[in-house]
Structure 1
């Protein structure tokens, strides 16, 4: 039996990506010059950084593609009719991934010179090869995009405070710098607030750390619930919170701060068997002025906070 008939017997030619719409006359000599290889389950067909001069056409079984190592999740699964090794065959560079037999496989091995011969004599084969390559590029783009999204997700875990759901001080330092620069350059007002829970240490000592965490969470949720999504909010540290409101002058910010103070004072703190008494906050308000940096803005809000506490707490000051 000729090798051509062996391939047809194992897999119809129209199921082979590279052979679709290619005349059998163009394929006869090419296929008869190829070898066949049987791979046991677990055998590595291609390794990263190895030079490869052969295109592998999967006739039966299943191959998995791994980018990092063999223990990583596969980025692709190759089924009968698909090919492996096409990139390294065409550009002559080392392979970029592991290709492993997931189960017993049979592959047809096409040397590099035969691949180029087929692409030269058959327009359809050349188009198929381009289609295969474009599919690989699209798959690589999706993999890169997915990886970037995961990295962003991990970065989010590093910039979001787990207790409150607010961003943390690390994120604040980065974003506030941009907001201050934008405000000064454009002349658009920017108001900031430093918010501190009054007598929090006494509350924490009286009711315990778990109840103290509930109080911090309740205050944070009240702040988030009373401000627009465009407002920067962050847990500054401990029982302190920071707010930056673009497009708002100090006078308007004082009104917003007063509404926040009243809302927090009226918020019950969930607990069992009975809710905890509400806490109060003191709020310092400041505006951003030309020539100020992030540290200056935070210092101005912090100084206003101390003035609010000096008024007897549960108050707002600038």
Structure 2
């Protein structure tokens, strides 16, 4: 820590009375504090607190601003504290090293109060203790809000990481995480569950004839149609490329086939338009249907659906095979 060459301006009791932590303190106690505290002018970048160094000082910020950081690597400070705030009280109360880094963000005027002086002032008056409790409570509340907002953002990010951007359906990552759980639940409850594997017919030809942008529009249309026409408790995911998977809980193979035929018909009759509203050729899909068996692995279930999809293609496409 380095001090500026210029001498700090004298601190008055009126100035101290504006400090949050000294609010309500008597004139006599403020005069006593001025006699037992030290004033300092610090340059930008001076370190006040760091987790690798003991701290026995309460710093009152009389002018300037400090930044609080969790480490030296991040580009953004966790928060900033300006005139009227203090730092260092936690390490004095807990008798532990600071949990964060505090460094001056610009030239700062500070009042340095040693640990012994802090406790003596508390013995003289309960104002400091009361204000410290209020300050700590406010910071805990603020930290809780930051944690809450961080968790919300994390939940949103996690949700987005499991959504396919083009179709709006779940993606392969979600499928790998969720299909085993859903299948285990069905097997444990001895309930039926079916998987439908869909493939857009002749999609490479569609891309070659109409362009990749048209192909993206077709896939987005398929995803939207599936998402809007499955039951509330069904799941639709993009398996990869032009392949999609539907998970149908509590559904037997016979019921799943009716659903598959309805969706197949819906897809072949759905208009596809580009972003400019120009109509594109329709697409059809082939579907492979597999019903979950007792003690069947996910690999075996998907292989059964894939084999059924192959049979649908071999039968001429635009159909459902079991």
Q: Which runs of 5+ in 2 are unaligned?
A: 1-9
Of the three residues 162, 182, 188, the one matched with 2:165 is: 162
TM (norm. structure 2) is 0.86
Q: Which residue of 1 aligns with 2:318?
A: 314
Q: 1:121 to 1:183 in 2, by over 3 A?
A: farther
The answer for the alignment partner of 1:269 in structure 2 is 272
Which of 156, 178, 181 lines up with 1:175 in the alignment?
178
Correspondence list, 1:139-218, <5 A: 139-218=142-221
Distance 1:231 1:112 in 2: 63
Q: How many residues align?
A: 312
Distance in 2, matches of 1:268 and 1:317, equals 25
CA pair 260-120 structure 1, distance change in 2 beyond 3 A: farther
- Alpha-carbon offset, residue 170 of structure 1: 1.6
Q: Over residues 224-246 of structure 1, what are the superposed CA-to-partner deviations in whole Å (9 max), with x where a residue is unaligned?
A: 12124543221111110111132
Q: Which of residues 75, 95, 101 in structure 2 aligns to 1:92?
A: 95
**1:131-166 residue CA offsets vs partner (Å, 9 max, x unmatched):** 222222233333333333444444445433232222
Q: Secondary structure at the match of 2:280?
A: coil
Q: How does 1:71-150 map to 2 (within 5 A)?
A: 72-150=75-153
> How far off is 1:261 after superposition?
1.0
* Structure 1 residue 30 corresponds to structure 2 residue 33: yes
Give distance in 2, aligned partners of 1:270 and 1:124. Answer: 71
Q: Give 1:195 deviation, angstroms.
A: 0.9
Within-5 A mapping of 1:242-253: 242-253=245-256
Moved more, 271-280 or 198-207: 271-280
Mapped partners of 2:155, 2:52: distance in 1: 29
Q: Using a 3 Å threshold, how does the CA distance of structure 1 residues 117 and 288 change in structure 2: closer, same or farther? A: farther
Q: Taking structure 1 as the reference length, what is the TM-score of the superposition?
A: 0.87
Q: Which residue does 2:65 correspond to in 1? A: 62
For residues 37-48 of structure 1, what are the structure 2 equivalents within 5 Å?
37-48=40-51
Q: More displaced, 82-91 or 302-311?
A: 302-311
Which of 234, 237, 243 matches 2:237? 234
Selected match of 1:289 from 276, 293, 296: 293
Whole-Å separation in 1 of the counterparts to 2:301 and 2:36 = 76
Structure 1's unaligned 5+ residue stretches are none
Shift, 1:87, TM fit:
1.8
Name the structure 2 match of 1:8.
Answer: 13
CA displacement, residues 33-91 of structure 1 (integer Å, 9 cap, x when unaligned): 11111223444333343322111111222222222337522322213221112222222
In structure 2, C-alpha distance between the alignment counterparts of 1:230 and 1:216, rounded to whole Å: 22
The 1-side partners of 2:259 and 2:310 are apart by 19
Partners of 1:26 and 1:119 in 2: CA distance? 10
Could you tell me whether the CA contact under 8 Å between 2:13 and 2:31 is conserved in 1?
no
Q: Distance in 1 between matches of 2:77 and 2:163?
A: 31
Q: Distance in 2 between matches of 1:45 and 1:234?
A: 53
SS in 2 for 1:6: coil
* Aligned match of 1:220: 223
Aligned CA RMSD, in angstroms, stands at 2.5
- The one-character-per-residue Cα deviations of 1:264-312 (angstroms, maximum 9, x if unpaired) are 1112222368422110001222222321222222222222222322332
Contact 1:70 1:98 in 2 (8 A): no
Hey, what's the Cα distance between the residues in 1 that align with 2:295 and 2:313? 28
